[in-house]
Structure 1
């Protein structure tokens, strides 16, 4: 416990952490000011070393298997909140600094996302039961950042606003051909088809495509939407518009050129693409070990410097960039609250360990958008400088028309 106590004493500067060790002895760290007081219990002496060496991974795994529990009314979210407001001092600790340097050195090895490996990694997350996602997503099963005009918007309203915002940016004209890279459960494809487009939607998750096809048929636009079970690198074609929402995060380090190269190759000369992705406002980094191991293997949130370096190498015009800073925080906040409310239903689908894993995941990612470096960006990309109108007004005008049409 000595090494772990030294680590906690060095980085808990805000709030207070109370730790009940395996022998029942209480240890307290932090002043209790500028943050919550959280009480945890460690049920195994083995955790002392594991938490000292790799707290992000070990804490998540211990919470999953029940060897770390929350006590005295504390919750997983409280624990993660306390961790998030003390991240800077933790990263400065010599052992943790060395650990992060080793992660960064290995990041390309960890993300050798071949076509088949990328498919398997995507299915790891997206081929879970759709009933699980129905517990906490909106009715349209949108599993990406919503667009909040106010932090008090309902999740349903914010997701509908996101779809409208994206369709407005596409500036669709009748019978345009649109390629969607990463189709999810079909809500955006339906929305684009309803706006008059012919949509080809790529997806590597058979579970998602099965549900998406049912939803497209129910919406009456099956003649305008085709789902293709292929990785983006396996596909060829020419399209007036390309849109990719919440997919670039799965491309991985070392594959951005292939991704943007496919967008360039599939665009007509006067076409353009809309790319919506999580990014970081800090220099290039790594994916946290818990998220990488249990949630999104192969996933990576790129820095804007990495994104723009790739578009420069590929000769693409970045015609517009919008940064959404707190929108995903509000989105995941709503997902987490809904998941907590339906936790018993999730446990019936899987088990308690799975629920604890998802509590840890949702809390960590939510707080990454509140206290960390994560944000969301939307880019408009083209091959020709005049493919996109020269004034941004068209987006606002289109959005106003779409909203008026209901």
Structure 2
């Protein structure tokens, strides 16, 4: 088996090297002060100048490198500039929340129309075919079970919790179980239910469904996740009720009374959303129900970024694409939404707790073989995600689905 140190890149070519062309940075050098001058931020430059109207502090330590990176790669360059320490923030989620709240107005309208000429398209090998999905999933979820264990709670649940009161580390495991239980309630999971889970995670949902008496088939493309989930099921004495397969959702057959899929549709790829929902419909037994949990973005922003390669895709979730609620509704085929619940505020709190726990455990993460650039990348990813929900740019929904009558 490959070691964690070998699996994690120690060479970051696009972080280590500043784009050579000074011309790339000229537009950003001119536009950046204009873009931030009315924001409730304090932007500190090395020469002592302060930009913005006051608020969370962003320190641009290496302006020329920052301008060139953003000029060359847009938001990818913005993220790489943070990874390279070109800029810093004491309260990273707060800075990113201010920007996310004004994402559509930071760039002048005239330049926004030229956006498609500058941004990069999604690489063909990340577009969502079965082999590319296997590679994409492995790049994130097979990093290391030990890494995820450092910042997730005891349930090893990597999706939004559902809090019934104030959120704290002490309440997180219970809130994750509450989220899972609501999904299982929505599909009527109980004794004898034939339940399919698409996207195993580390097994908590399968365990809770089986403890209700359901017979569970769960599929994942992550070898690391499957290994730990199988071990957890065995330790709980539920191996006779749970089968965990290393398989793509398109490879599943059979008929199921209940189907549950938590934050999986985001990894499918936009061109495969119709396939995903058609597979769910084909696998659902008559009278059965489906519950999915899905992160969504505004429909107009989804359309604008549909073929754009983003920082998150490059470094965190290759091939990922967040749908809009409209996109989900348009791709349901013969299914319909019967109930829906937003967990937006719950996800912001879930991410806050993960980020704080990760920062507390950063030395343990380093001992696993993850370097400083990875640490800054992961910190930015968690803060960036939290900011998306706090700014209300992102949402996350539990949808209950049934067949159209």
TM-score scaled by structure 1? Answer: 0.85
Alignment of 1:7-406 (within 5 A): 7-12=31-36, 13-20=38-45, 24-32=46-54, 35-42=55-62, 45-66=64-85, 68-70=86-88, 74-92=90-108, 94-99=110-115, 106=121, 112-153=127-168, 154-283=171-300, 284-285=302-303, 286=305, 289-311=310-332, 314-349=333-368, 350-383=370-403, 385=405
Compute the displacement of 1:69 (Å).
4.0
Cα pair distance change 1:172/1:77, threshold 3 Å: closer
Compute the displacement of 1:258 (Å).
0.6
Compute the displacement of 1:56 (Å).
1.8
CA contact (8 A) 1:151 1:330 kept: no
Q: Distance in 2 between matches of 1:331 and 1:63?
A: 23
Compute the displacement of 1:57 (Å).
1.2
Structure 1 stretch displaced more, 323-332 or 129-138:
323-332
Structure 1 stretch displaced more, 49-58 or 358-367:
49-58
Cα pair distance change 1:97/1:295, threshold 3 Å: farther
Cα pair distance change 1:374/1:151, threshold 3 Å: farther
SS of corresponding position for 2:261: strand
Structure 1 stretch displaced more, 224-233 or 279-288:
279-288
Task: Provide the aligned C-alpha RMSD in A.
Answer: 2.3
List gaps (5 residues or longer) in structure 2: 1-24
SS of corresponding position for 2:61: strand
The number of residues matched between the two structures is: 373
Cα pair distance change 1:93/1:42, threshold 3 Å: farther
Compute the displacement of 1:126 (Å).
0.2
Structure 1 stretch displaced more, 180-189 or 340-349:
340-349
Q: Deviations over 1:143-190 (max 9, x none)?
A: 011101224352122112112211211212321111100010000000
Compute the displacement of 1:8 (Å).
1.8
Q: Distance in 2 between matches of 1:97 and 1:361?
A: 27
Structure 1 stretch displaced more, 373-382 or 47-56:
47-56
List gaps (5 residues or longer) in structure 1: 386-406
Cα pair distance change 1:7/1:376, threshold 3 Å: same
TM-score scaled by structure 2? Answer: 0.86
